[in-house]
């Protein structure tokens, strides 16, 4: 019996150690990206008109930063009462970030398709993880200071229920990502600009189609891996250490969204003449008005928004989306 207990404790120790190292690696990736993009953030958002793009960018970046720094601070020795409160607080902030991501997905789809029902469906699918993870509070989410790991979250969610919740939450996000990709490609096909993608360096079509597709594909892959690693860690004892890989989900997703918003805003400022091409890192563009994408959602998107006036398309190629 003593040998069995010792083996179980050793396995739990190893799992917590791997989880912590993966978490630290995720923090390093996020903070490194934050530092190298601060200059671009200042040029693109600071001191300019407040738009939905800016609000989404700041909420995504700084809510993620609060969550990661708060969770990092919990590794210091604190009382069990403070640890329990900290565990609930970090969980609340972490899963509130999904509301920001859901808002962006819904806004992007509405800007492309002008379809409120489709946007509502995308938003509903994207917020499923927020609602699903509230279940952890119902099962008595708490925290305990465990030496030498510091404050450790403890939730009494049954294994079978945990599997179900993981599948439901991540599958809904994958469905929302697929919906966003489909809306992007359907819009560009309708506007008849697919054949000109090779000429669209830095244009709205290039960013929305290529960058946008890559963005949602990456998120879809991350969510697929999240499901796989979580289920493996719950079913196979020897693979419990793989659960640490899911700690990369939040920081990597936040980095991807921040980069996408910076790309769009940078191109928007070049297109409106608000930023000299020398101050941005991507190619020249004359065509984007970013507010049409995530702020002034009532605007119609036409071919001129994707291609410059002299890119070779005639008036017959312009298709109104209404």
Q: What CA–CA distance (Å, rounded) separates 39 from 16? A: 36
* Tens digit of each residue's pLDDT (9 = 90 or more) over 151-167: 878 877 787 888 888 88
pLDDT at 36: 93
Give the burial class of 160: count Cβ atoms within 10 A of its Cβ; 0-12 exposed, 13-18 middle, 19 or more buried: exposed
Look over the chain and give the mean of its residue pLDDT values, rounded to a whole number. Answer: 74
* Tens digit of each residue's pLDDT (9 = 90 or more) over 91-112: 889 889 999 999 989 988 887 7
Dihedral of alpha carbons 119, 95, 213, 211, sign: positive
At residue 225 the predicted structure's pLDDT band, cuts being 50, 70 and 90, is confident
- 128: alpha, beta or left, given left = phi > 0 and alpha = psi -120 to 50? alpha
Residue 200 has pLDDT above 70, yes or no: no
> Which structural domains are found in the chain, ordered by start?
54-317 (1.20.1070)
* Tens digit of each residue's pLDDT (9 = 90 or more) over 37-79: 999 899 888 888 888 888 899 999 999 999 999 888 877 778 8
Backbone angles phi, psi at 47, to 5 degrees: 75, 10
Q: What CA–CA distance (Å, rounded) separates 207 from 294? A: 14
pTM for the full predicted model: 0.76
């Amino acid at each position: 019996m003593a040998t069995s207990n010792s083996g179980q404790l050793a396995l739990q120790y190893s799992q917590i150690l791997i989880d912590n190292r993966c978490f630290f690696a995720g923090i390093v990736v996020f903070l490194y990206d934050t530092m190298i993009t601060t200059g671009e953030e200042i040029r693109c958002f600071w001191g300019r008109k407040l738009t939905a793009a800016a609000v989404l960018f700041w909420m995504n970046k700084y809510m993620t930063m609060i969550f990661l720094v708060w969770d990092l601070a919990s590794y210091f020795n604190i009382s069990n009462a403070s640890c329990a409160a900290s565990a609930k607080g970090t969980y609340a902030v972490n899963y509130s970030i999904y509301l920001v991501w859901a808002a962006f997905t819904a806004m992007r789809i509405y800007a492309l398709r002008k379809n409120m029902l489709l946007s509502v469906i995308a938003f509903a699918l994207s917020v499923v993880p927020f609602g699903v993870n509230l279940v952890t509070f119902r099962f008595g989410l708490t925290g305990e200071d465990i030496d030498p790991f510091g404050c450790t979250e403890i939730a009494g969610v049954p294994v079978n229920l945990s599997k179900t919740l993981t599948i439901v939450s991540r599958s809904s996000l994958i469905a929302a990502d697929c919906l966003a990709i489909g809306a992007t490609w359907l819009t560009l096909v309708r506007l008849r600009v697919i054949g000109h993608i090779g000429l669209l360096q830095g244009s709205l079509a290039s960013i929305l189609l290529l960058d946008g597709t890559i963005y949602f594909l990456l998120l879809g892959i991350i969510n697929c891996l999240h499901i796989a690693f979580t289920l493996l860690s719950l079913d196979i004892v020897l693979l419990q250490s793989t659960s640490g890989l899911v700690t990369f989900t939040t920081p990597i997703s936040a980095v991807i969204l921040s980069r996408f918003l910076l790309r769009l805003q940078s191109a928007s400022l070049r297109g409106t003449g608000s930023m000299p091409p020398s101050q941005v890192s991507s190619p020249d563009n004359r065509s984007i008005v970013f507010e049409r994408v995530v702020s002034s959602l009532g605007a119609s998107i036409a071919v001129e928004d994707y291609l410059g006036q002299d890119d070779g398309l005639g008036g017959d190629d312009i298709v109104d989306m209404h």
